[in-house]
Amino acid sequence: MPFHMDVTISNPDMTAITWAIDRDLLEKSKVFQMNPIEGKLDPGASSSIRVTFNPLEPLEYHARIPVYVDGDRSKAYLMIELKGEGQEAKIYFDRREIILPSVPLGF
């Protein structure tokens, strides 16, 4: 079952900036997704990015995703580190015995 978390990015600068996340590395990970992956931030503005983790197997997953600013893809402005651990589906009950009420036959 996928897990979602929202991350907020903001621009404290006095000029507008454009940002982008490396789509190829994100698609390569196969278990992490981010939406949106690019945008523009006006001075003092904030934006929310939804990060989704959808594990395929019960393993530990790691990814480092670069964020580029103002179209300069020669050097990442920031690296976002994503970690997650997939687990097999389990159900636990607080008691080992379930007591059901008495009912007439046929119900």
Each residue's pLDDT tens digit, 54-77: 988 888 999 999 999 998 889 999
95 backbone dihedrals φ, ψ, rounded to 5°: -130, 145
Asked whether residue 104 is assigned to any structural domain, the reply reads: no
Q: The domain that contains 14 carries what CATH number? A: 2.60.40.10
pTM, full prediction:
0.71
Asked whether residue 17 is assigned to any structural domain, the reply reads: yes
pLDDT tier at 13, thresholds 50, 70, 90? confident
Instruction: Note down the domain range covering 39.
Output: 3-85
Residues found in the chain: 107
Asked whether residue 105 is assigned to any structural domain, the reply reads: no
Residue 39: CB partners within 8 Å, gap ≥ 6? Answer: 18, 19, 47
Taking only the tens place, the pLDDT of each residue in 21-33 is 988 888 888 899 9
Q: What pLDDT shows up at residue 98?
A: 75
Nearest-angstrom CA–CA distance, 16 and 79: 21
Asked whether residue 98 is assigned to any structural domain, the reply reads: no
Asked whether residue 54 is assigned to any structural domain, the reply reads: yes
Helix (H) or strand (E) holding 28: helix 23-29
94 backbone dihedrals φ, ψ, rounded to 5°: -75, -15
Total domains present in the chain: 1
